[in-house]
Amino acid sequence: MDKTAFFQKFVAFTTAVHQVKHEMTKDLKPADITPVQYSILEYIAVQQPVTLSEISDCQHMSMPNTSREIRKLTEKGLCEKSTDAQDQRKQSIRLTPEGKAMMDEAFARIEARFFHRLQGASEGDLKTIEQALDVLQAKVFHTE
Amino acid sequence: MDKTAFFQKFVAFTTAVHQVKHEMTKDLKPADITPVQYSILEYIAVQQPVTLSEISDCQHMSMPNTSREIRKLTEKGLCEKSTDAQDQRKQSIRLTPEGKAMMDEAFARIEARFFHRLQGASEGDLKTIEQALDVLQAKVFHTE
DNA sequence: CCTTTTTGTTATCAAATGATAACTAACGAG
DNA sequence: CTCGTTAGTTATCATTTGATAACAAAAAGG
């Protein structure tokens, strides 16, 4: 096993993933949302409800900046805060119906692009791809 | 085949890749290099020699901004321009020895983290991983 | 209780990034 | 040769992002 070649394959792979993800998500965020805000919305959409601290950790941004961006998203009517019943320090953040509608549409368009990219793949190919995704997620891209 | 579940697996996977890549590359860029500049340096390191237009395309930034960042990197002594012999409009950009040394060290540290992450994987696991990388790059994350 | 820690906010500032206009020079096609 | 196109530069500006200090309130632990 050539370790250097293996590593280079890994680097090329992550670069390709980044590239493809960019292609699949470009031109779909509304004009009045900044890239950071869109990224936060994606995170909330998948993980909601979330707290400010969780966003701060996962998006690698400071609490003050996270607080600012959430305030802006709240002002735009895309997400809302509610105080956690158990711990009143915590803010439980969710998408508003408008925010959810926006993200649903964004994900629908990404999904369409995804399957467009897979057109031509047989049922067997899809099985192979699914297994490959499972393998890599379990053995390489695991995050705890 | 449940399409929605398949797509969600894809989303979770790309998110994990992004996350792991962030973990593996954090804290290794020198203090006087901005994130965008580091990204450009990575690109040059892998693809050199490159032209300004190529950087502009691949990094999704405008020519004026690309020009500015390359000028800054040149001023820092990390890359250098030379006019293409065939087409005198084109600038051939490469890393300087200092730039190469910097990126070699960065990649070495990423490689160390990569294999650290893979410690515990058997020789057979590595084969499986390599095949999974090949499959996904060919069938899903192909970029032409 | 009282102190420390966690969670979040507000204000402020600096730096990085993105966008555009106006320009030069070299190439390429007719 | 001339004209349109490609490659790159410079200058300028607005916006986004990142960083820090100073604060308040709730919780947790003695």
Q: What is the pLDDT of residues B81-130, one digit of tens each?
A: 998 888 899 999 999 999 999 999 999 999 999 999 998 888 899 999 99
Closest-CA distance of chain A to residue B136, Å: 6
Q: Which residues make Cβ contacts (< 8 Å) with residue A22, sequence separation at least 6?
A: B60
Residues of A in contact with B58 (CB under 8 A): 19
Q: How far is CA A118 from the centre of its chain?
A: 20
Q: Residue B37: its pLDDT value, please? A: 97
Note the CA–C1' distance, A89 to C1, in angstroms.
21
- Please tell me which residue, A1 or A17, carries the higher pLDDT value: A17
> Do you find a cis peptide bond into B30, omega within 30 degrees of 0?
no
Mean residue pLDDT across chain A = 93
Residue nearest C16 (alpha carbon to C1'): B34
Residues of B in contact with A130 (CB under 8 A): 6, 9
For residue A80, the surrounding DSSP H or E stretch is: strand A79-83
Give the span between the Cα atoms of B8 and A139, in whole angstroms. Answer: 19
Nearest CB to B114; choose among A7, A115, A118: A7
Q: Residue A33: its pLDDT value, please? A: 95
Q: Residue A27: its pLDDT value, please? A: 86
Q: Residue A121: its pLDDT value, please? A: 85
Give the span between the Cα atoms of A36 and A59, in whole angstroms. Answer: 9
Give the span between the Cα atoms of B125 and B129, in whole angstroms. Answer: 6
Residue A58 banded pLDDT, cuts 50, 70, 90: very high
Q: Three-state SS for A120?
A: coil
Chain D bases near protein CB atoms (7 A cut-off): 6-12, 15-22, 25-28
Note the CA–C1' distance, B35 to C13, in angstroms.
20
Mean pLDDT of the region B66-70: 97
Q: Which residues make Cβ contacts (< 8 Å) with residue B22, sequence separation at least 6?
A: A60
Q: Is the pLDDT of residue A36 over 80?
A: yes
Chain C bases near protein CB atoms (7 A cut-off): 6-12, 15-22, 25-28
Mean pLDDT of the region A97-103: 95
Q: Is the pLDDT of residue B30 over 90?
A: no
Closest-CA distance of chain A to residue B48, Å: 15
User: In chain B, which ranges are E strands?
Assistant: 79-83, 91-95
Give the span between the Cα atoms of B19 and A73, in whole angstroms. Answer: 23
Mean pLDDT of the region A68-87: 93
Q: What are the beta bridge partners of residue A50?
A: A93
Question: ∠ CA(B17), CA(B19), CA(B21), 5° rounding?
Answer: 65
Under 8 Å CB pairs connecting chains A and B tally to: 118
